Amino acid sequence: MAAELSPIDKAKFVAAKRAVDFVENGMKLGLGTGSTAAWMVRCLAERIREEGLRVTGVPTSSRTAELARSLGIPITSLDEARWLDLTIDGADEFDTELNLIKGGGAALLQEKIVATASDQMIVITDAAKSVTQLGAFPLPVEVIPFGWQTSKALIEELLVSMDVLNRDCSLRMNGDAALITDEGNYIVDLHLKRIGNPRQLAMVLNQIPGVVENGLFIDICDIVIIGHGDGRVVVRDINTGDVQDDRVDFVPSDNIFADMGE
């Protein structure tokens, strides 16, 4: 018997399930990271099992690679695949232009490379992540460990020069130690509250020595799918301007919980 999902998990599930409708036979797919993307991986595995869908996935983190492998999804590296048809991923915030903050799960570097290598990016999310202005969610910046305190000081100086009022920056921890990303780097979280010009900030942050990448995804996302706890999904395409209001059956099959030990 399938476990009862919380309203937030139902919202994530229906968004993920609707996104997987966009997947076609033979596609090379970027597989995002996080709890919403994990639902997408489970829904994709279900289509592979039940319909014999043929796809190859490029995971954006070791966690997603492990989940995809455990569910029997064929995966490869981006270097093998080279170019992808579609990436489906979650986000921490999205604005009306579908600019994003990502990296809450520390996978922003691979996520940005994979999304940029894709013809299309679909973001799956719940409504709570919709904002008029990005920045309430701390902006993750991936820095190399060598001289990270200097990189952090340079980030703080940059924020002063941009007249950013809230500019508290903190090293992301994992217990007592710095969190280490899949690429062996650190994450500095920028608590900005509001980001006035995300496009400019995304560009200038990456000029700082030691900064590898930042979590602002500008002009990368094409479609956002917003799930709701009652099974409603809103699909918004930034390129065509289309908005569809849909419904998805939010009762997942029993074996979709296979990797969750339920």
Residue ranges at the known binding site:
33-36, 89-92, 102-105, 129
The residue among 107 and 154 lying less far from ligand 5RP, judged by its C-beta, is: 107
The one among 33, 99, 181, 185 contacting ligand 5RP by CB under 6 A: 33
For the bound state, the minimum distance from the C-beta of residue 163 to ligand 5RP, rounded and expressed in Å, comes to 28
Among 105, 135, 138, 229, binds ligand 5RP (CB under 6 A): 105
Query: Which residues are CB-neighbours of 145 under 8 A, at least 6 positions away?
Result: 178, 184, 185, 186
Answer yes or no whether residue 89 interacts with ligand 5RP by CB under 6 A. Answer: yes
Q: Does 114 bind ligand 5RP (CB under 6 A)?
A: no
Q: Which of 46, 93, 111, 142 is catalytic?
A: 111
Q: Which is nearer to ligand 5RP, 49 or 257 (CB)?
A: 257
Pairing of strands 223-227, 232-237: antiparallel
CB contact at 8 A, 34 and 65: no
- Decide if residue 92 touches ligand 5RP (CB under 6 A): yes
- State the nearest-atom distance from the C-beta of 92 to ligand 5RP, in Å: 5
| # binding residues, ligand 5RP (CB under 6 A) | 18
103 lines the binding site for ligand 5RP (CB under 6 A): yes
How many whole angstroms separate alpha carbon 84 and alpha carbon 135? 29
Residue written as tokens 């994709």? Answer: 44
C-alpha span between 178 and 187 (Å, rounded): 8
Structure tokens at 136: 């309430």
* Site track for ligand 5RP across 202-241, x = CB under 6 A: ----------------------------------------
**Cα separation, 47 vs 51, whole angstroms:** 5
Residues 35-74 touching ligand 5RP, rule: CB under 6 A, are: 35-37
By CB under 6 A, residue 172 contacts ligand 5RP: no
d(CA 15, CA 9): 10
For the chain, the C-alpha Rg in angstroms (whole number) is 18
111 in active site:
yes
Per-residue binding letters, 13-32, with ligand 5RP (x by CB under 6 A): -------------------x
In sequence order, the β-bridge partners of residue 84 are 118
CA distance linking residue 209 with residue 201, whole number of Å: 15
183 Cβ neighbours under 8 A, 6+ residues apart: 109, 110, 142, 212
Piece of 22-30, 86-94, 144-152, 240-248 that binds ligand 5RP (CB under 6 A): 86-94
Query: Binding site for substrate, residues?
Result: 33-36, 89-92, 102-105, 129
Four-CA torsion 120, 126, 128, 129, nearest 10 degrees: -20
**What residue ranges bind ligand 5RP (CB under 6 A)?**
32-37, 89-92, 102-108, 111
The residues that are catalytic are 111
